[in-house]
Structure formats: C-alpha cells, structure tokens
Amino acid sequence: MVFGKDVVIYDLDDTLYKKTEYFADILDRVMAEALVFDLGLDMDVEQAKKLVTESYRIYRDGGEIFYKGFGIKPKDLFIAYHKRKPVEKIIPYDNLLAKIEKVPAEQYVFTASDRYASEKILKHIGLYEFFKDRYYSVEDFGVYKKNENSKVYNEFCKKIKVDPKDCVFVDDSYSNLEFAKESGMTTVRIYYHNNSAKDKKYIDYAYKGIESFLDNILEGKAA
Ligand SMILES: [Mg+2]
C-alpha cells in the first residue's frame, strides 16, 4: 500500500519525466507552430509563441488565450499540438521502471496528452510495457483537460473499477490535484525548484521530483 491506499495514479508530462526550461521553451514554440501552420492562426510564430507563454502564465494552459480571443477550438489545438510534440527530446530518468515495479500498489497513468503522444512518450521513457493496459488520456473521457472539475476523476475510477478514496493521485500541476482531491483521492504534488503550493489545502504530500517519492515508498516511509 501507499499511504494506506491500493492504487497509485500518475500524471505523465512533467511527472514521470522532468520538463527542463529548455524543453518547456521548445513546447511553447511547437504549440505556436501548430496554431499558425496547422490551424491557420493569422500571426507570425514568434508573436504566437509569446501569447502561448503568457497564456500558460495566466491560465496554466497555453491555449486558453486562443480559445477565448481567436476562435481556436480546444480539440483542434489538442490534436495538432500533440502530433508535433518532440518526444525524442525528453530525457528519461534512469531506473524509473525498476523503482515503479517495486511499488506495492496497482499503478496507472492518467494524462492530458492525447493517446498518440502518450504512447510515444511512454515508449521513449521506457514505461510503455509496464503501463500498456493501464494508461488513459483525457481523450478517452471526451475532454481535453483534467483541471476543470472532478467528474473526469470519478469517471476514471469507474473505468478502472476502484473507489477514489482508495487512490493516490500524483501530479506536478496543482490545478489538477484540486479536483482529484474533490473526488476523494489522496494527493501528491511533484515539484522541482521549490514547493510553491505549500499553502494549498488539497495537497496532502509534496516531493521534489518523482524519484524522491518512489524512494520514500521503497524505503517503507509512505506505507
Ligand atoms: Mg503534468
């Protein structure tokens, strides 16, 4: 068990691998390119990229400014962006699989990437075989985000036939944890620089990087 629960559900992006600032900048550009080249946004890529960065800063979602003010549909950007995602530039952790294999709980992935990108990412970071039948995308539930309400977390639990109260949800993005908590899950935030969301009541535990969380479990400190 982990924190007395039988099930651990991980976010994928920036949780099971670490997004460097260099990679984050590439992703902002890729989203801008998807907007301009694939979706016909009437703007140059540099200008669009600035707005993507601003949109992340304000809304924690790079597309929001474009949905609100430029007639871009979330679904269209979701698909175009994930097709362009440069998965090969992700630097996988060493030995993550060996650690995950030893965690004494059922484990799943629930990601806001689409199925196409999440399969590529899981393969790239060496976790595809382990999570092959145990990863889900928001796409599987007909939505594009997991920080809007708790409904998608309840549906996820129905799908895997567990009670949210028996789940630990692990995510770097605290806006997701708010709704995981609302559904009844125990929440773990993964941070990198400093624990910026200490004050959030819906976060039960916080760890610097996924490896420190897994090490704690394997040392018996999170049973
Ligand atoms: Mg994430």
CATH code of the domain containing 101: 3.40.50.1000
Q: What pLDDT score was predicted for residue 46?
A: 98
Question: Do residues 81 and 95 share a domain?
Answer: no
pLDDT band with cut points at 50, 70 and 90 for residue 2: very high
State the residue range of the domain holding 32: 21-88
Query: For 193-206, how does the pLDDT look when each residue is reduced to its tens digit (9 = 90+)?
Result: 888 888 999 999 99
Number of domains in the chain: 2
Reply yes or no on whether the pLDDT at 110 is more than 90: yes
Tell me if 159 is assigned to some domain: yes
Mark whether 118 and 31 lie in a shared domain.
no
In terms of domains, do 31 and 50 share one?
Answer: yes
Give a yes or no: residue 207 inside a domain. yes
Please check whether residue 223 lies inside any domain of the structure: no
Distance 57 CA to ligand 1 centre (A): 15
Last residue of a domain, one of 88, 119, 139: 88
Cα of 91 from ligand 1 centre, angstroms: 15
* 1 within some domain: no
**Domain end residue (candidates: 88, 114, 140):** 88
Taking the centre of ligand 1 as the mean of its atom positions, its distance from the CA of residue 13, in whole angstroms, is 4
| Same domain assignment for residues 115 and 152 | yes
Determine the distance separating the centroid of ligand 1 and the alpha carbon of 209, expressed in angstroms: 12
* Residue 172 CA, ligand 1 centroid: distance in Å: 5
Residue 10 pLDDT: 98
Sorting pLDDT into bands at 50, 70 and 90, what band is 21? confident
Q: Tens digits of per-residue pLDDT, 168-192?
A: 999 999 889 999 999 999 999 999 9
Q: Is residue 174 part of a domain?
A: yes
In-domain check, residue 208: yes
Mean pLDDT rounded to a whole number for the chain:
95
Q: Is residue 169 part of a domain?
A: yes
222 has a pLDDT exceeding 90: no
Looking at residue 123, its pLDDT comes to 98
- Indicate if the pLDDT at residue 78 is higher than 90: yes
Pairing of strands 167-171, 7-10: parallel
DSSP the chain: -BTTBSEEEE--TTTTS---HHHHHHHHHHHHHIIIIIT--SS-HHHHHHHHHHHHHHHS-TTHHHHHHS---HHHHHHHHHHH--GGG--PPTTHHHHHHH-SSEEEEEESS-HHHHHHHHHHTT-HHHHTTSEEEGGGGT-S-SSS-SHHHHHHHHHHT--GGGEEEEES-HHHHHHHHHTT-EEEEEESSS-TTTT-TT--EEEESHHHHHHHHHTTTT-
Q: How far is the CA of 16 from the centre of ligand 1 (A)?
A: 8
Residue at a domain's end among 72, 88, 104: 88
Q: Is the pTM above the cut of 0.95? A: no
Residue 145 pLDDT: 86
Q: Are 133 and 97 in contact (CB under 8 A)?
A: no
Q: How would residue 112 be classed by pLDDT, with cut points 50, 70 and 90?
A: very high
Are 122 and 174 part of one and the same domain?
yes
CB 87 within 8 A of CB 16: no
Predicted confidence band at 160 (pLDDT cuts at 50, 70, 90)? very high
Same domain, 141 and 170: yes
CA of 171 to the centre of ligand 1 (A): 6
Residue 50 lies in a domain: yes
Asked whether the predicted pLDDT for residue 20 surpasses 90, the reply is no
How many whole angstroms from its chain centre is CA 66?
21
> Ligand 1 centroid vs 110 CA: distance in angstroms?
10
Indicate whether 12 and 33 sit together in one domain.
Answer: no
Q: Do 183 and 141 share a structural domain?
A: yes
Residues 122 and 181 in one domain: yes
55 lies in the same domain as 155: no
What's residue 155's pLDDT?
Answer: 97
Q: Are residues 137 and 33 in the same domain?
A: no
**Are both 146 and 66 inside the same structural domain?**
no
Pairing of strands 205-208, 106-111: unpaired
